[in-house]
Structure 1
Amino acid sequence: MSMFNESEERQELRKQVARLAGKYGRDWFTEKARAGEKTTELWLEIGKNGYLGINIPEEYGGGGGGIGDIAAVCEELSAQGCPLLLMVVSPAICGTIISRYGTPEQKQRWLPGICDGTGTMAFAITEPDAGTNSHNITTTARKDGDGWVLNGRKIYISGVDEAENVLVVARTEDARTGKLKPCLFVVPTDAAGFEAKPIPMEIVSPELQFQVFIDDVRLPADALVGDEDGGLVQLFAGLNPERIMAASFSTGLARFALDKAASYAKERTVFKAPIGSHQAVAHPLAQAHIENELARLMTQKAAALYDAGDDIGAGEAANMAKYAAAEAACHAADAAVQTHGGNGITQEYGMAGLLVATRAGRIAPVSREMILNFVAMHSLGLPKSY
């Protein structure tokens, strides 16, 4: 194995996941989405085969692998046309944070369900008035006797209707001024005072986005994950994996788009030859493929650094990977639609929906502008601009 090839185990993992997801495929996925149904069947099968919790310690039902393994699973699902957003959230963000900072009791309570898919956990950080500026979050947690009381609002929270619990980022009330001291709480979705309303989206996905209302939600002391003074370190333990997973989500979608476009370009004949023989069709696809392979390489680097415990190096690489992957996916989807001509905007060929799906990667989970700010400051040493 050279340092630019994944291990045989990782390559085999990719094959197995691709085979499993291929049984379902894009048509099944979009049918579910358009009918307002869920992809639970696929989710549970991934869990049953041990792929869902592959990054979680074995003693809690996981595979004992790293973020690179769960990212490979995420990418292969996307590449088969079944991108599962909750892969980014439940095992990668929530699973990582609880594995790192949870007590043995908390790990035993929540990680097995994350691994087998029966106890999916959503993640709530974004707020209507804070957006990208997470230092402005106003969801508060105050101590009340032995427990906590939470109040606040969250927006664009994925898959709340499919989750048993939500890992909510709040701040202790005395930290309202000064720097953000985030605290992480596991909130059951059926808790009194917890309400979620779906947000109508243009994206074709079985996984919905929600606005969440948290009104005097009472929690026991052990709902707090980690140390209430642990601050940003605990939060970022989940955010670097989130960026690596988001990159894999995008590179998988790009692969799916390019695969469909290349197949079409080989078969579709207009001027006596397959349209793929014309450089005006071939070159944008080739360019998108190059961009995507570069993004995949940076994603691999970010995952390797993260799994080696280099949080600073992983942070820089994860941001770059996420940026590059979103750009590559947008270019791939655009080129794929154009390759299909009029067919590219029909439901039958399923290309146009990729325009919105890939475009979301430039916005979430962190905007491309904030990544450029990060790189300008941390990689180039330029003064902070905001």
Structure 2
Amino acid sequence: MSTTHTDPSISEATKSLLRSLDEFIEGEIEPLQRQDDNVRFFDHRREWARTDFDHGGLPRQDWQDLLREMKRRADKAGFYRHDLPIELGGNDATSLEMSIIREHLARRGLGLHNDLQDESSIVGNHPTVRLVWTFGTDEQKDELCESGIVGNGGLAFGLTEPGHGSDATWMETRAEQRGGDWVINGGKRWNSGLHAASHDLVFARTSGADGNARGITAFIVPVNTPGFRIDGYRWTFNMPTDHADVTFENVVVSNSAILGVEGEGLVIAQQFVHENRIRQAASSLGAGEHCIDLSVEYARARVTFGEPLARRQAVQWPLVELATEAEMLRALIRKTAGELDTRDHLEISDRVAMCNYRANRFCCEAADRAMQVHGGIGYSRHLPFEHIYRHHRRYRITEGSEEIQMRKVAGYLFGFAGAGKY
């Protein structure tokens, strides 16, 4: 079971916050999850409860309404904006504290307090809001920050293309300057969040040669701009989907649509993925620990051939290996998160990559082992392991596949890459 409340390495302030979060979950969020048959959204035998299969596989409105109510209550209680700057009503939480919180919430298991498929939590993760706050003009902040927090629009993220994923410097989407405007042509895939977004953060090459990290610019594009077309949504292991294919055909935006500095868009993308990767690593760690916790509990109770499963080395040793890896991952994740708070993120990009690819792999292995320990019932949708596996399997690909992240580590290890060489 989780020991975050007694961990001597966690500050008393953070321990107090974790206790408050647990009390809030038990007092407000769990009752909300149980009322009005809301439990249907967490019964993974009934995936249709969340998914409108007749309309592109998008989230059903009643599911979205429940998430909105959860966020409203969390915001009223002072938790939802915790990671955001004080100017936006938050507490300016550090990356270290956010990694501790995300591990703790994921280790509690599946539920409305911290939903995996939708990536919604009582302590929100607001990467695009933080990008606008960091790089945006006053006008961009006024238009997009608060709306992005409360869910009345906000910003989707368009980096990946049909022919280009992790090799973003070779993207084919182009933006050409014509007079005082920019004209965007190209397309994106896995353009997440567009079903509910008012704007899309579109990365396009504006100068430089293919393969050059400089010369890519980030544009904030209203989704109702002429020539902006959503072609459909990609269905995945976990449904519903919000991953759009998008085409840009002579999409015209003004110079004021640029986020940050022209030609330096990948700096923005790097900040996005670094913050997300360390937080995702913490969530994967917590979800994997949840699988271990349930497996140990089951092995102690399940009797076969006259003895508990817990007495059999074939059951013990794989869980011992996983528990040992969890301890090492926690130390690496928290050390790296703390460094993100004090150092240039490009200096420790390799450490972030280590955390992310190892934690995501660990979670998938823990879910798989939990299925094995639980036997037939573990393979069923009556227990959470298949859902945890299906969700976290994506992170071994998205935001940089584990191969790309290992390549990043190799680049730093052998001196081919590092701060100033991106």
Same fold (TM over 0.5): yes
Alignment partners' CA distance in 2, 1:71 and 1:117: 23
Contact 1:83 / 1:249 at 8 angstroms: preserved in 2?
no
Three-state SS of the structure 2 residue aligned to 1:217 is strand
Give the paired residue count: 381
Equivalent residue number for residue 201 of structure 1: 236
Q: Which runs of 5+ in 1 are unaligned?
A: none
1:62 equivalent in structure 2: 90
- Greater alpha carbon shift after TM alignment, 277-286 vs 317-326: 277-286
Aligned residue identity for 1:238: F
1:314-371 Cα distance to aligned partner (Å, 9 max, x none): 3122111102201211211111110110111111123223232222222121111111
Corresponding residue number in structure 2 for 1:260: 294
Q: Counterparts of 1:15 and 1:134 in 2: how far apart (Å)?
A: 42
2:372 counterpart letter in structure 1 = Q
Q: Is residue 141–residue 149 contact of structure 1 (8 Å, CA) maintained in 2? A: yes
Distance verdict in 2 for CA 1:207–1:199, change over 3 Å = closer
**Residue 240 of structure 1 is aligned with which of 268, 274, 279?**
274
Residue 115 in structure 1 maps to residue 143 in structure 2 = no
Point out the more displaced range, 93-102 or 22-31.
22-31
1:157 and 2:191 aligned: yes
User: Which aligned pairs between 1:201-350 and structure 2 lie closer than 5 A?
Assistant: 201-203=236-238, 205-350=239-384
Report which stretch shifted further, 179-188 or 340-349.
Answer: 179-188
What SS is found at the alignment partner of 1:366? coil
Report what 1:134 is aligned to: 168
Per the alignment, in what secondary structure is the counterpart of residue 210 of structure 1? strand
| Cα distance in 1, alignment partners of residues 7 and 126 from structure 2 | 24
Match of 2:54? none
Partner amino acid for 2:302? R
Report deviation, 1:264.
2.2
Structure 2 residues not aligned, in runs of 5+: 52-59
> Displacement, 1:159?
2.7
Query: 1:64: Cα distance to partner?
Result: 1.8
Q: Which amino acid aligns with 2:235?
A: P
Deviations 1:290-323 (CA, angstroms, capped at 9, x unpaired): 2123222222122211111332343122111102
- Structure 1 residues 351 and 325, CA, compared in 2 at 3 Å: closer, same or farther? same
Q: What's the offset of the Cα at 1:92? A: 4.5
Question: How do 1:25-40 and structure 2 match up within 5 A?
Answer: 28-30=41-43, 33-35=47-49, 36=51, 37=60, 38-39=63-64, 40=67
Q: What SS class does the counterpart of residue 175 from structure 1 fall into?
A: coil
Distance 1:251 1:190, change over 3 A: farther
Q: Kindly provide the amino acid, as one letter, of the partner of residue 233 in structure 1.
A: V
Q: Please, what TM-score do these two structures have when normalized by structure 1?
A: 0.86
2 CA distance for matches of 1:53 and 1:257?
Answer: 28
Using the aligned pairs only, state the percent identity.
27
Shift of 1:206: 4.1
Q: In 2, are the aligned partners of 1:53 and 1:114 still within 8 Å (CA)? A: no
Q: For structure 1, which segment, 2-11 or 307-316, has the greater mean C-alpha deviation from structure 2 after superposition?
A: 2-11
2-side partners of 1:275 and 1:132: how far apart? 43
CA separation in 2, counterparts of 1:177 and 1:301? 36
Compared CA separation, residues 257 and 315, structure 1 to 2 (3 A): same
Distance change (3 Å), C-alpha of 1:231 and 1:354: closer
If you compute each CA radius of gyration, which structure gives the higher value, 1 or 2? 2
Question: Quick check: 1:75 aligned with 2:103?
Answer: yes
Provide the residue aligned with 2:18 in structure 1: 14
